[in-house]
Amino acid sequence: MNFIFPQIIKSVKGKTVLDPFGGAGCIIYEALRRGARGIYIDINPYAYLIARVTLEWFNNEELRNISKRILSRKRLAYKGSNGLLKFISRETLYTVTIRGIKKRVRYYEWNGNTCWAITVDGERIEASDFTEGEPYHFVPKYMLWYPWREPFYKRRNYNWLHEFFTNRNLIILTNIWHDIRRPKSILRDTREHRALVLAFLSTLYMSSKMARRGAGSWGINSYWVPKSHVEYNPYELLERKINRLLSMKPPLNREIRITGSISCIREVLKGRYDAALIHGDSRRVLGRIPQKSIDLVITDPPHADEIQYFELSFFMNAWIEENPYSWALNEIVVNPKQYKDFNKYLEMLVNTYKLLYEVLKPDGKMIVIHHEEDSWRLRNMVKAIEEAGFTIDKEFFINMKQQRNIGDRDITKGRELQIVVCVR
């Protein structure tokens, strides 16, 4: 979102910038980089975790040390057929014997129910899943159905989240997660711990049956398992994710003072903190912000029905949330399985914009970025801003040279963003 600042806003230094739909934190990052204070809000736990790790960063040496302990496990716990605790060598699950020689498996290749092991030297041998027991530690056994008995809009192959993993990888993942979350393993809720949790969660897709050879990250926005898929070693995936984090430089070239507490938002306004990163429903959080205290609102609101953030993030949130369904009702989205049509989506947006109107200073501005290509929808999304009390100061389009593929978008038109500048 760095294009917003030089093209529309000359300077934000010393001002307070608010993003009520914070996502991965790009807008608040750009504001902080330019000397502003920031207030970030997002209802999605996984998005919040990404933003917090990115903005507060971590100590490389500390992350390296705790990662070594996590990656050094040699034996994996599982529940035997008699229900008792048993252990198996970690290497055994990704090792096959060919002509009497043990070889390490690079990945398993599946075609329907048929499995082959592909070794590190390129040999291929028929294999199978691990069938001698089941996971001993916590398994996220949640249905891809809403509590009101509607299936997820993006659910295709299975009803249960854990069914998207082989038994072999589920045993590995539950052992890793046990080590990460075990209080005696590391000091919980440190910057390094959050970075490690993020690294683990980012391996889940490639550890699942949805992974395809050479396809990379989650390219199809649904819970879809192709007939031909691959199975990668979660320990190797995690080690690569951690090494990638360790190779990166902090995005901000200065230490920033961050709070995650709603009660400390006033301290951000006074300049005692640089940023407040809040996980929660923006409509509830905005009610805790003093009226007429925010200089600038910059936001990229939810994209109607193009990305089902709750449903797709459920794959990660089920590991970190005690009740991963808890924020579905408050998600601003178009989703027939949540009984939310476009009119309901607009109503929820209007309610949020009204709260933003109240917290914005009399001379403040709100900048809204729309990723919508349907002209009728765009007109109604602009009307929603006006219905909340704002006056449209400017309205124009920016053509993006690089735009992430979201939903069914026209290749050319889908790169166009509508920018709406609003005043009180």
pLDDT of residue 322: 86
- What was the pLDDT predicted at 127? 96
In angstroms, the Cα distances linking 138 to 77, 174, 177, 182 are 11, 6, 8, 11
CA–CA distance from 334 to each of 214, 308, 309, 331, 339 (Å)? Answer: 32, 8, 11, 9, 8
According to DSSP, the β-strands at 37-42 and 16-19 are parallel
pLDDT for the residue numbered 403: 46
Which pLDDT value is given to residue 305?
86
Indicate the SS3 state at residue 340.
Answer: strand
Backbone torsions φ then ψ of 72, nearest 5 degrees: -90, -5
- Mutual angle of helices 60-71 and 167-181, in 10-degree steps: 130
- Residue 372: how many other CB atoms lie within 10 Å: 20
Q: How far is it, in rounded angstroms, from Cα 310 to Cα 303?
A: 12
Three-state SS for 288?
A: coil
> What are the residue ranges of CATH 3.40.50.150 in the chain?
4-57+257-423
**Judging by DSSP bridges, how do beta strands 75-80 and 133-135 pair with one another?**
antiparallel
Q: Count of residues for the chain? A: 424
Q: What is the dihedral of CA 20, 361, 398, 311, to 10 degrees?
A: 10
Which DSSP symbol is given to 373? -
The alpha-helical segments, DSSP class H, found in 342-400 are: 342-359, 375-387
Name the token pair of 387.
């219905």
DSSP state of 407: S
Dist. CA 297–CA 354, nearest whole Å: 13
How far apart CA 293 and CA 329 sit, in angstroms, is 29
pLDDT of residue 176: 97
Match domain 4-57+257-423 to its CATH number in 3.40.50.1100, 2.60.40.150, 3.10.129.10, 3.40.50.150: 3.40.50.150
Helix (H) or strand (E) holding 38: strand 37-42
Residue 362: CB atoms within 10 Å: 7
pLDDT 10s per residue in the chain (424 long)? 555 665 566 788 999 999 999 999 999 999 999 999 999 999 999 999 999 999 999 999 999 999 999 999 999 999 998 889 999 999 999 999 999 999 999 999 999 999 999 999 999 999 999 999 999 999 999 999 999 999 999 998 899 999 999 999 999 999 999 999 875 444 457 899 999 999 999 999 999 999 998 777 776 788 999 999 999 999 999 999 999 999 999 988 888 899 999 999 999 999 999 999 999 999 999 999 999 999 999 999 998 888 899 999 999 999 998 899 988 999 999 999 999 999 999 999 999 999 999 999 999 999 999 988 889 999 999 999 999 999 999 998 887 654 444 344 444 444 688 999 999 9
Q: Report the number of secondary-structure helices (H) and strands (E) in the chain.
A: 13, 16
Q: What is the pLDDT of residue 8?
A: 63
Backbone angles phi, psi at 371, to 5 degrees: -105, 45
Sign for the pseudo-dihedral over CA of 51, 142, 86, 125: negative
Paired sense of beta strands 294-299 and 360-370, if any: parallel
> pTM higher than 0.85 for the full model?
yes
Q: Please, are residues 35 and 151 in contact by the beta-carbon 8 Å criterion?
A: no
With CA atoms as reference, report the closest residue to 30 among 299, 359, 423, 368.
299
C-alpha R_g of the chain: 23
Look at residue 50 in the predicted model and tell me its pLDDT.
Answer: 96
Look at the block and give the residue holding tokens 């993003």.
Answer: 19
pLDDT at 415 (0 to 100)? 66
Residue 30 near residue 305 (C-beta atoms within 8 A)? no
